[in-house]
Structure 1
C-alpha cells in the first residue's frame, strides 16, 4: 500500500523560498527596496524625499513633488495592487517630511504649511474618505508629529519665540494639548516608546558650546522628570526605539569627531555603543547614517558613505551604499548600489521570496 503525503502549496513555497523583510529607501529621490537579495525600484523619474510603512505593512506613504513645483504632496501605495493614490495635494499645503501612521492604519498625521508665509501646522488625513482635519491652531508653529502606539496621543514639537522648541502632546482628536518640556534649550524629534510610557527626544543647547543630547520623559510628566541618556555630541538625528523598547538607535557625531556614526544606548542610559568605525575593512573615511531597526530588532539597516578601491582599481569616493548589520554591530553586509541612499525603513511584515 502506497501512502502519499500532500503538502499544501503555501507550505511548499515557505520551505523552498523562505521569507524576508523588504528594506525600503530613497535613492536619488526615487523609492527603492532591497528584497530577497535583489534591489528593485517602486518609482522612477520622481522626486521623493520621505517614506513610512503603515503598521500592518499594506501601505507605503511617501512625499512627492514635481519638477515644476517645490511643494510636496502626500501619496500612498497599496503593496498588493501597486496602485498609487494622492491623499494630500500640495495646493492644500506643502507637506513636510514629518508624518506618521495611526496604529490602526486608518489615518496619517502630517506636518505642513497651509500657505507659503504660514507657520508649520499639523493635520490628519483619513485613508478611506480622504478627509483632512487641521489639528493645531494656525496661530501656532507645530511640527514633527509622532503617534503613540497606544493610539491615544500624539507627541509633537511647538516653536515659541521666547522658549524655543518644546515637546507637547495632544490627544488623538486634538481636543487636549499639554506641554511636556519648557527650557531655554531646543527639544525636538519626539519618539514614543513601544509601550507608550515614555517619549525620547533630542535636546540641543542654545549658545556655545552647542551640545546635543538624548533624553526621555514620562508621557504625563512635566519638566523635572527628564532622564538624559546620551550627551557629548555635536549632532544627533534619526532617533528610534528598538521594537522591544530596551534600546534607542541613532546616528550622530561625537564632539571632537569629524564623521557621523551609528550608535545604540540602553533605555536606562547604560551601554552607549558605537556600531561603526572610521575605517572598516576595505572602506575608508566611513560615515554611517540613517539607521533603521528590522521589525524583530535583530538587524539594523543603514546608509554608508565611504572611500574604497574596487578590485579592478577604480577608486570610489563618498558614494552612499545600503548596508545591514546585526543589532550588536557585527556582520556588516553591503546590499545596495553606489547611489545616494537615505530615509531607510523596513517593511513591518514578511514577504515570500520566489
Structure 2
C-alpha cells in the first residue's frame, strides 16, 4: 500500500501545478493528457517578441553572458523565454501551440535544447538557435516521454530521461519506468545507460564529461547516483532516507547541487562530488526546485513557490544574497544560465544539429512510421510468456506456410527469437511441421529423436556439414521439440524435415570464393552466380513442395532458412550487381499465391560467430559486427531505441500512401551469410525493397555470438571461440 501511495504522490507532482517532484522531472504524465494534439514541428518565434523594460548592462552576474533561459506560462501556454539578469528584461523566444519546457543551453551558448509536448501524452526533445530560430526535433519515440536534456561538455552528446521501457503488468496495468539514455549528436543514434524497473532520471554531466550524476528510486526512495558516461560504475552518493532529486554538477566539478525534502520541504542542498558534506542552501516554507549553476560557480538559480506561485530565484553558493528574479503571477521555472558564447569545437553540435543538416540526414517520415508501428517484444529468450507475440499471430492469420528467415547462423538471437516464434506458432496457431535448411538424411535422425527420444542430438549436430548448426541454441531448440512432443496435450506434435539439396550444390560463399579465383569478367561471374542461385532455389522449392505433398497441403509448415533465400526480390548481390534472381520465397509465393507469410530478421550491432574467410581452409571465430551505415534500415531502426520489435509490413503497406511508400523503395539493409570479408567493412548490406521481401520483420538492436558446442576430434572444421584479436580488422 505504501508503494501505491508513494506512486500517487510522485504522479501528482508531475502535474501542471508542481511540474516535477524531482526538479526537472517528467512534466507531462498528467498535464499533457488534457491538451489538444499538435504538429511535430515547432513554429517560428513571434515577429515582435514580448519584452519587459530594458536598462543598460553593468556587469555580467554569475559569469557567462548574464542571461538565463527559462519556461513560463505568462502568455497562456508554456513558452521559452530569456532574461537579461542585470535589467530583468525578458524576451520571448518561442510561439507554439504545444507546451515547451526544460530549456538548457549548449556548452558553447549557441543552442538551446528543450522539451516539446506532442499530442496528448508524449514529449520529445528539440534543439533551436539561441534566438529561437531553427527549431528541429532531434529524436523520436512515439511511445514515450523523452525529457530532461543535458548536454555533454563538448556538445557531442545529450543525456536525457525516457519512459520508453514502461510496460504492462499481468493485470494489464501500465508500469511507468524511467531510464537514462544518451543521444550522439553527430549521428543521432541513442544508447541506453541505465536499465532498471525504477525511475532513473535528471542526468547531469560532470565538467570533464567522464561521469553523469542522476537520481534513482531503485532503493525505494529517491537518491542521488553517479555513473561513468558509458553507464558503468553506478553508485549511490546521497544515502539518505529522504527524497534527494535533481542533481547538477558545479562548473569546477567539485560540488553537486540537488533538491531534498529532508528538512520537511524541498530545499536546495550542496554536497561534495563524492557525496560528503551535504548542507542546506535554502530554507523556504515552499518548494525549491530545479537548481542550475551560474557559469562562474558563484550562484545557483532555481524556481520556488515560496510566495505562492513558482518564480525564479538566485542565491549565492554560501546561502546569502537570495534574490527573486521574476514576479509574474504565473509559473516561471526551469532556469538555465547561458555560458560564454564561443566558436564550437570541430565536430561539435552547431554543425551537426543545423536544421538543414538534420533534415538531410533523417527521413522523419520513416522514423515516425517505425516508432508508431513497431510492435515491442519483451524478450529474445525462449521459456518466457508468449503474449507479446499475439500481434504477430494476428498478422499471420490463416497462412499455412511461414517462412522464418534469419540473417546468419552466427548470432544467438537469430536462434532464440525463432525458437520463441516457433513455440508460439505450435502452441497458439497449431503449426506442426518444421523444415530446416539441412539434408533430408540428417533431418531424419533428428526427427527420430524428437519423436522417440532415441539417439544423441549433440552427435547429430556435430556431424552436420555446416558447423554453425552445432550450437547450444540449436540443441535447446531440439530438446524443446522433444519435450513438447512428450507433453503436447491438445497442441499438435512437431515433425522435422530437411529441404537442403545435396551434391553437387555447395555453400554459396564457397561458390563465390572459387569464382573469385577464376579469370572471369564481372558479367560472366555474375551470370554464373545467378545461374547457380536460380538452380539451387528451384531444387529447394521442389523439395519443399514434395514434402508438402507427403504430409498434406493443409498441414501448417514453418520453413527455417536465410532471409536471402526467402526474399521475394533481392536487389544487389554478393558481386555488387543490380540483377534479380528467382529466390525460394518468390517461387513459393508463386505456387501458394498469398499464403506464405515471410518473417525476416535484422539486427543493429554486436558480435557474431562467422567464418574468417571465404575459402575452404576457413575456421569459425567471433567477430564484431560493423555498425549500420547512415541511411540504412538498421540505422533508422535504432532511432526507436527499442531493444527488439516487430515491423508489420504486409498489413501496413499501401503503395498509394505517402507514409509507407519508402517500404517499396530500395533501402540499404543487412543481408548476410555470416562470412568475414576483410576487403568490405559493409559486407552483407544490400539495397532491398522491404515490402517485396517481407511480410513482417523482426529487429534486434544488440546481438551476441552463438554458443558453439565442442566438436569431436578429427572434425572437418575447427572452432576458435576467442574473439578476434584486432576488432579493427575483423569486422563483419
Same fold (TM over 0.5): yes
Residue 62 of structure 1: how far off its partner (Å): 1.5
How does 1:96-135 map onto structure 2 within 5 Å?
96=147, 98-114=148-164, 115=166, 117-135=175-193
Q: 1 CA distance for matches of 2:309 and 2:83? A: 26
Q: Larger RCO: Structure 1 or Structure 2 (Cα < 8 Å, ≥ 6 residues apart)?
A: 1
Is residue 153–residue 172 contact of structure 1 (8 Å, CA) maintained in 2? Answer: yes
Residue 104 of structure 2: aligned partner: 52
Secondary structure (helix, strand or coil) at the match of 1:119 reads coil
Which of the two has greater helix per residue?
Answer: 2
Is residue 210–residue 234 contact of structure 1 (8 Å, CA) maintained in 2? Answer: no
Query: 183, 194, 197: which one pairs with 1:139?
Result: 197
Query: 241, 245, 252: which one pairs with 2:293?
Result: 241
Q: 1 CA distance for matches of 2:279 and 2:123? A: 36
Residue 150 of structure 1: how far off its partner (Å): 1.9
Note the residue ranges of structure 2 that are not aligned, 5 or more in a row.
1-59, 167-173, 343-732
Q: 2 CA distance for matches of 1:204 and 1:106? A: 34
Residue 214 of structure 1: aligned partner: 268
How does 1:242-321 map onto structure 2 within 5 Å?
242-252=294-304, 264-269=314-319, 271=320, 273-276=321-324, 302-305=325-328, 318=329, 320=330
Residue 100 of structure 1: how far off its partner (Å): 0.7
Query: 233, 239, 242: which one pairs with 1:185?
Result: 242
Is residue 188–residue 203 contact of structure 1 (8 Å, CA) maintained in 2? Answer: yes
* Residue 114 of structure 2 is aligned to residue 86 of structure 1: no
Is residue 233–residue 252 contact of structure 1 (8 Å, CA) maintained in 2? Answer: no
Residue 107 of structure 1: how far off its partner (Å): 0.6
CA shift in 2, pair 1:267/1:33, >3 Å: closer
Residue 339 of structure 2: aligned partner: 348
Secondary structure (helix, strand or coil) at the match of 1:250 reads strand
Secondary structure (helix, strand or coil) at the match of 2:138 reads strand
CA shift in 2, pair 1:252/1:170, >3 Å: same
Secondary structure (helix, strand or coil) at the match of 2:222 reads strand
Q: 1 CA distance for matches of 2:339 and 2:149? A: 17
Is residue 312–residue 333 contact of structure 2 (8 Å, CA) maintained in 1? Answer: no
Residue 225 of structure 2: aligned partner: 168
* Residue 73 of structure 2 is aligned to residue 73 of structure 1: no
Is residue 262–residue 274 contact of structure 1 (8 Å, CA) maintained in 2? Answer: no
Q: Name the TM-score, length of structure 2 as normaliser.
A: 0.33
Is residue 270–residue 280 contact of structure 2 (8 Å, CA) maintained in 1? Answer: yes
* Residue 29 of structure 2 is aligned to residue 29 of structure 1: no
Q: 2 CA distance for matches of 1:174 and 1:149? A: 17
Question: RMSD of aligned C-alpha atoms?
Answer: 3.3
Residue 290 of structure 1: aligned partner: none
Q: 2 CA distance for matches of 1:266 and 1:25? A: 19
Residue 207 of structure 2: aligned partner: 149
Residue 229 of structure 1: how far off its partner (Å): 3.3
Q: Deviations over 1:25-70 (max 9, x none)?
A: 435233345689784544433332222121112322121123x332
* Residue 281 of structure 2 is aligned to residue 229 of structure 1: yes
Is residue 223–residue 236 contact of structure 2 (8 Å, CA) maintained in 1? Answer: yes
CA shift in 2, pair 1:125/1:268, >3 Å: same
Residue 192 of structure 1: how far off its partner (Å): 1.0
Note the residue ranges of structure 1 that are not aligned, 5 or more in a row.
1-18, 277-301, 306-317, 321-339
Higher-Rg member (1/2): 2
Which of the two has greater strand per residue?
Answer: 1
CA shift in 2, pair 1:92/1:171, >3 Å: farther
Q: 2 CA distance for matches of 1:94 and 1:266? A: 33
Post-superposition, which runs of at least 4 consecutive aligned residues in structure 1 deviate over 6 A? 19-22, 34-38
Is residue 21–residue 350 contact of structure 1 (8 Å, CA) maintained in 2? Answer: no
